[in-house]
Amino acid sequence: MEIRATNTAQLDWTGDTLAVGLFEDAVELTGDLASLDQKLDGTIKELIEETEFKGSVSATAACRVGANSSIRKIILIGLGKKNALSLDSLRKSAAAIARTAKQQNSKTLAISLPVVNNDPALTAQGITEGILLALHLDNRFKSEPEDKGAKLEQVELLGLGDQEAAVRRAKAISDGVILARELVAAPANTVTAITLAETAEEIASQWGLSLEILEKEDCEKLGMGAFLGVAQASDLPPKFIHLTYKPEGTAKRKVAIVGKGLTFDSGGLNIKGSGSGIETMKMDMGGAAATLGAAKAIAQLKPNVEVHFISAATENMISGHAMHPGDILTASNGKTIEVNNTDAEGRLTLADALVFAEKLEVDAIVDLATLTGACIVALGNDIGGLWTADEALAAQLKAASEVAGEQFWQMPLEEKYFEGLKSPIADMKNTGPRAGGSITAALFLKQFVKETAWAHLDIAGPVWADKESGCNNAGATGFPVRTLVNWVLSDV
Ligand code: BES
Ligand code: MN
Ligand code: ZN
């Protein structure tokens, strides 16, 4: 499928299906749309009346137009209220158009949507992301897929001028989101730490990034007792992945992105019971998946920023050599941890990954993790939690997430709650009380970053969607690849 932006006007486009946006407060036909309606013998007016189309957000209506016209079908898409138009609402409108065009078996499609923020490039980027992400179809595990995918061959974004760079950016970002989705959706018997390391290897060799994989012995030498404690019950080898993108010339900044990479979380001996969602725990590597997704996009977009992509990948299993609840582990910064709950394993793996990241002397570290059920309780399934003591970094990440259309809410790094992690025998416990569970998790991680600007993103909710919505399909979402890429690309 080819997507390009052009200067063609609605009236002049010839092809299969034309999609036009209508605001909720202006469904009457004026200007170009009135001329188009006239050209189509009143079909648009009739469609609006027949379907009682009101222009509410993402409402769609479609019909066949007269045989002698320059187009075969028309799709109307509701844009909501004019003053509420945003990049993300356009991205979602584009997703709804793409889904409708797929149902209509359209081969060529033209999309006519308003320019947002006076920025045709950003508009083209958002629309392209919406199309590509909505049409992404994962049939890898179906022997005979019933959904054969869209028949679209060509999509033209009308009236935006030539936006080659913006479309290319959207494609790279969508590539990254789709990689993350496919890694998360794949079950734990197909995606293991070995697979994550191989995926990093593919990105490295395709795009010229450097890759360092630390094997178990290497991690032992570095004293990564927290990570290895989690890994010790698995029959599969752990892999500590460190993928590096370096721009040509001197980088204007240097950052690290650290993703939790638990390819399965059984809970360990504090095993997750039935009804706990244990069967969904293949998605516990959502942080690592988004880290690799961001790497794939950034490798293509080549920003002037050095980026380290890191994940301590393993699975949390049970066996005769599993951690006992109560075991004391020593992390690579020398801190000792009483494991009062083996199911709080993500923070143990991240502890060593954060220590490793800080040694790289980066300007900022962002970790992302499906860390706590408590964060889902606090913010629901659509919003990620953001913790940082660095308000400048918070502002950067919020701005990036706004452009991405991925929601975060800043949560308190309330030092007082560290009380809950005090251990009588070791430096800290890995689990605090139930109340404020996502905050104590963040405070635990904070113990492993000394002085680098650091932010923690808890993405336990939004990595997975039960239903299709916006440009997410049901299943893995690829959250928050778009935020990470925008953050790296932004001029801070
Ligand atoms: N991977 C889970 C968190 C999670 C829960 C992600 C639900 C996605 C959906 C994490 O390792 C975990 O088990 N956390 C425990 C922590 C508790 C033992 C302190 C939790 O949230 O219950
Ligand atoms: Mn767990
Ligand atoms: Zn986990």
Specify the CATH number for the domain of residue 61. Answer: 3.40.220.10
Q: What is the pLDDT of residue 25?
A: 81
Half-sphere exposure (Cβ direction) of 472: Cα atoms closer than 13 Å: 25
Nearest to 179 by CA among 209, 136, 142, 241: 136
Whether a cis peptide bond, with omega within 30° of 0, leads into 238 is no
Please name every residue paired with 213 in a beta bridge, in sequence order, or none if there are none: 241
Question: Does the beta carbon of 341 lie inside 6 Å of ligand 1?
Answer: yes
How many domains does the chain contain in total?
Answer: 2
Pocket flag, ligand 1, residue 345 (CB < 6 Å): yes
Kindly list the protein residues that place their beta carbon closer than 5 angstroms to ligand 3, a single-atom ion: 262, 265, 284, 346
Residue 467 and residue 477 in contact, taking contact as beta carbons nearer than 8 Å: no
Q: The domain containing residue 25 runs over which residues?
A: 2-161
- The answer to whether residues 205 and 229 belong to one domain is yes
250 and 231 in a common domain: yes
Closest C-alpha among 364, 355, 169, 328 to residue 251:
364
Same domain assignment for residues 60 and 201: no
Token pair recorded at residue 395: 């502002």
Residues 239, 351 within the same domain: yes
480 CA → ligand 2 middle, Å: 20
Whether residue 437 sits in one domain with residue 408: yes
Torsion, CA 74, CA 75, CA 81, CA 86, rounded to 10? -120
For the Cβ of 349 lying below 6 angstroms from any atom of ligand 1, the answer is: no
Planar angle of CA 176, 77, 462, nearest 5 degrees: 35
| C-alpha 36 to ligand 2 mean position (Å) | 57
* Same domain, yes or no: 222 and 119: no
Give pLDDT, residue 482. Answer: 98
Tens-digit pLDDT string for the chain (492 aa): 999 999 999 999 999 999 999 999 877 888 889 999 999 999 999 999 999 999 999 899 999 998 889 999 999 999 999 999 999 999 999 999 999 999 999 999 999 999 999 999 999 999 999 999 999 999 999 999 999 999 999 999 999 999 999 999 999 999 999 999 999 999 999 999 999 999 999 999 999 999 999 999 999 999 999 999 999 999 999 999 999 999 999 999 999 999 999 999 999 999 999 999 999 999 999 999 999 999 999 999 999 999 999 999 999 999 999 999 999 999 999 999 999 999 999 999 999 999 999 999 999 999 999 999 999 999 999 999 999 999 999 999 999 999 999 999 999 999 999 999 999 999 999 999 999 999 999 999 999 999 999 999 999 999 999 999 999 999 999 999 999 999 999 988
Atom of ligand 1 minimally distant from the CA of 431: 19
Residue 468 Cα to ligand 3 midpoint, Å, equals: 24
Atom of ligand 1 nearest to the CA of 441: 19
Contact 133, 177 (CB under 8 A): yes
The CB of 460 under 6 Å from ligand 1? The reply is: yes
Output the DSSP codes for 107-156. SEEEEE-PPSTT-HHHHHHHHHHHHHHHH----TT-SS-S-------EEE
Number of Cα atoms under 13 Å in the Cβ half of residue 48: 21
What distance separates the 2 farthest-apart alpha carbons in the chain? Answer: 83
Q: Which residues are catalytic?
A: 272, 347
Strands 428-429 and 336-338: parallel
Domain boundary, last residue among 131, 161, 191: 161
Q: Do 430 and 306 fall into the same domain? A: yes
Q: What CATH number is given to the structural domain containing 365? A: 3.40.630.10
Query: d(Cα 36, Cα 144) in Å, to the nearest integer?
Result: 42
How far, in Å, from the CA of 43 to the mean position of ligand 3? Answer: 54
**Do residues 133 and 468 lie in contact, with contact meaning Cβ atoms separated by under 8 Å?**
no
Q: Are residues 349 and 410 in the same domain?
A: yes
Domain final residue pick, 161, 178, 212 = 161
Nearest of 173, 170, 245 to residue 206 by alpha carbon = 245
Backbone phi and psi for residue 357, each to the nearest 5 degrees, phi listed first: -60, -40
Ligand 1 mutation target, pool 279, 318, 372, 431, most atoms within 8 A of CB? 372
Distance 320 CA to ligand 3 centre (A): 20
Which residues pair with residue 74 across a beta bridge? 18, 63
- Ligand 1 atom nearest the C-alpha of 430 is 19
Q: Does the beta carbon of 372 sit less than 6 angstroms from any atom of ligand 1?
A: yes
Q: Do both 184 and 330 map to the same domain?
A: yes
* 307 vs 386: CA distance, rounded Å: 20
Domain boundary among 130, 161, 192: 161
For the Cβ of 374 lying below 6 angstroms from any atom of ligand 1, the answer is yes
- What is the whole-number distance in angstroms between the Cα of residue 284 and the centre of ligand 2? 8
Please indicate, yes or no, whether residues 8 and 106 belong to a single structural domain of this protein: yes
Q: Do residue 92 and residue 203 come from a single domain?
A: no
DSSP H or E segment with residue 411: none
Radius of gyration for the chain, computed over Cα atoms and rounded to the nearest angstrom: 24
Ligand at minimal distance from the CA of 459 is 1
Are residues 81 and 201 both part of a single domain? no
Nearest-CA residue for ligand 1 atom 5 is 373
Kindly state the helix (H) or strand (E) to which residue 470 belongs, with its residue range: none
Asked if residue 458 has its Cβ within 6 Å of ligand 1, the reply is no
Which residues share a beta bridge with 469?
472
Ligand 1 atom closest to the CA of 283, numbered from 1: 8
Beta carbon of 343 within 6 Å of any ligand 1 atom: yes
